[in-house]
Amino acid sequence: MVEDGVYVYNETHEGKNVDKESGTLHEKCKTGIEELDRKLGGGIPVGNSVLMVGSSGSGKTTLSMQFLIDGARHGERGVFFTITEPLFKLIKNMENFNFYDKKLIEEGKVNIIDLRIISDRLGLDTEKYTVDDANALLDVLKDIADELNVKRLVIDSITALCYRLQSKEMIRNFIFKLGASLASTDCTTILTSEVPPNEIKYSQYGTEEFIADGIIFLGDVNRRGDIIRTLQIIKMRGTAHSRTKSAMSISSKNGIELAPLLKSRE
Ligand SMILES: Nc1ncnc2c1ncn2[C@@H]1O[C@H](COP(=O)(O)OP(=O)(O)OP(=O)(O)O)[C@@H](O)[C@H]1O
Ligand SMILES: [Mg+2]
């Protein structure tokens, strides 16, 4: 049921959500960002792969990490595959946020893995992948996720991964294999996607969105000289959701937060 652009749901004692209209039961994976969960009718449907789209600095990495940390706090193990930022830099940036909890990393509840190190260990050229390399990497990703029995997975970014493939066809094949691989698990996944600023497009190569069950777009709007961060759910299979653009803020204290976006008076 949608009221004022926000999906209203009942939470049962099992922590599952019942759609008031259809009576169907959806298992939801809370993102840990209260307002986003409300917009999603409780959270991301379990098992969905979500493309987190935005230009550089839009908050993709922060939001994805907050999602993993919150899951770990609630007993769901997660893995973060980074390919854009080296591990030490990523951790240094995340340490600025109150939500970051070193203990969860040390206890293996959130695992952060540098894909370049994995590529290196596999003996792959870390900057360019052949079809075999890409397949080997996919197998390793899947093995790690299975072995750790993760319920939440992040690849940051799918764009940087595809960049290492040599042709559009290779990217297409890789994306569809990745999609099939993710679909066979009950793991909820965020794939970050870098796009140029001020462009309404969801992926660099035009293929990434085809395997996505959901798309969340991080953008910005100009309000009388101030640039305001925004978040909008473009699609989310398996749930009714708000499509209203929200104002988004990033702070050390609260990480990512959403608030209503006031209509411009200009
Ligand atoms: N501690 C902090 N407090 C407030 N804002 C912060 C803090 N740390 C980072 N930011 C803001 O968040 C932005 C970076 O967010 P993040 O790294 O999540 O973006 P991204 O979309 O992953 O960027 P990229 O595409 O470059 O990887 C910074 O540019 C800065 O504006
Ligand atoms: Mg990033």
Asked if residues 39 and 233 have their Cβ atoms less than 8 Å apart, the reply is yes
| Backbone φ and ψ of 2, nearest 5° | -110, 125
CA 14 to CA 111: how far, in whole Å? Answer: 27
Closest CA to 205 of 251, 159, 236: 159
CA 142 to CA 144: how far, in whole Å? Answer: 5
- Strands 49-54, 188-194: pairing kind: parallel
At 201, the amino acid letter reads K
Tally: H helices and E strands in the chain = 8, 16
If you average pLDDT over residues 7-28, what whole number do you get? 51
Q: Is the peptide bond before 193 cis (omega within 30 degrees of 0)?
A: no
**Residue 8 — very low, low, confident or very high, per pLDDT cuts 50/70/90?**
very low
Reported as a single tens digit per residue, the pLDDT across 151-187 is: 999 999 999 989 988 888 889 888 888 988 888 888 9
Atom of ligand 1 at shortest distance to CA of 63? 18
Closest CA to 219 of 241, 238, 193: 193
If you average pLDDT over residues 121-126, what whole number do you get? 86
Residue 257: what pLDDT? 97
- If one residue of 33, 58, 194 were mutated to test the ligand 1 pocket, choosing by the most ligand atoms within 8 A of its CB, it would be 58
Name residue, tokens 């040599």.
Answer: 166
Cβ–ligand 1 distance for 264 under 6 Å, the answer no
pTM > 0.85: yes
Cβ–ligand 1 distance for 250 under 6 Å, the answer yes
For ligand 1, the distance from its centroid to the CA atom of residue 169, given in whole angstroms, is 32
CA 6 to CA 239: how far, in whole Å? Answer: 12
* CB contact set of 193 (below 8 Å; sequence gap of 6+): 51, 52, 53, 54, 60, 157, 158, 159, 202, 203, 204, 208, 209
DSSP state of 96: T
DSSP state of 43: S
For 2-260, the fitting CATH number among 3.30.230.70, 2.30.30.180, 3.40.50.300, 3.30.450.20 is 3.40.50.300
**Residue 11 — very low, low, confident or very high, per pLDDT cuts 50/70/90?**
very low
CA-proximal residue: ligand 1, atom 15 (nearest): 59
Alpha helices in the chain, H assignment, sequence order = 34-39, 60-73, 87-94, 102-106, 115-121, 131-148, 158-163, 168-183
